[in-house]
Amino acid sequence: MLIGSGLITVLVLALAGLAVWRGPRPSDERRWTIWWGLGFSMSVLAVLLAFALWAGERMIARDDGALQVQAEAQQWGWRFVQPGPSGPVETEGVLYVPAGQPFDIVLTSRDVIHSFWVPQLGGKMDAIPGHRNVHRLMADAPGTHEGLCAEFCGIGHAAMRFEVVVYDPAAPPPFVSAESLP
């Protein structure tokens, strides 16, 4: 955003300098108004709209067999339920997801509005009591990311954090012990 606003500022200053240097010409007014005033503005808005639609499309959950994780927020922690090799696996404060595969987070809340946010993975979404929100994310490479509640939810809000462990899908998930594998 800083680069974009800097470029627009430089362009506006250059055009203002050009207008002062050349002086007013009645025939140029219409061209400046239509091509620079409307044309440039509409071009920038069209590019921003296209980017917003592209980014939004990536976050829409669809019924395509993606991994689905249940995330329940409560003051002041997160409980995750995800599929495991021998049934659902429940974790407190740690979410395990495979790298390079989209996954859906099904968000609910027990008490007040919370907000699920992992800055390195994308946008945030609210967990609302009595409502189910589904948010699609994807982690590109194995690693660990910090997640947090981005909605003030009470006195313990600052400590309402969780960890997202992104593992290699070719290896067994970290929450599965070697003894439980066939």
Residue range(s) defining the domain that contains residue 53? 2-59
pLDDT tier at 177, thresholds 50, 70, 90: low
Instruction: For residues 106 and 163, state if they share a domain.
Output: yes
According to the model, what pLDDT value does residue 8 have?
86
Write out pLDDT tens, residues 34-77. Answer: 777 777 788 888 998 998 888 777 767 777 778 899 999 998 89
- Whether residue 94 contacts residue 165, with contact meaning beta carbons closer than 8 Å, is answered with yes
Instruction: For residues 55 and 84, state if they share a domain.
Output: no
Instruction: For residues 112 and 165, state if they share a domain.
Output: yes
* DSSP codes, 143-154: EEEEEEE-S--S
pLDDT exceeds cutoff 50 at 150: yes
What are the two backbone dihedrals, phi and then psi, of residue 150, each rounded to the nearest 5 degrees? -105, 15
> How large is the average pLDDT for residues 142-157?
89
According to the model, what pLDDT value does residue 142 have?
93
Instruction: For residues 36 and 125, state if they share a domain.
Output: no
When divided into structural domains, the chain yields a total of: 2
At a CB cut-off of 8 Å and minimum separation 6, what does 113 contact? Answer: 126, 127, 128, 129, 151, 153
CATH of the domain at 93: 2.60.40.420
What is the average pLDDT value for the chain, to the nearest integer? Answer: 83
CA–CA dist 74, 57 (Å, integer): 29
Instruction: For residues 95 and 72, state if they share a domain.
Output: yes
**Helix, strand or coil, per DSSP, at residue 67:** strand
> How large is the average pLDDT for residues 81-100?
88
- Which residue blocks in 69-180 are alpha helix, DSSP H? none
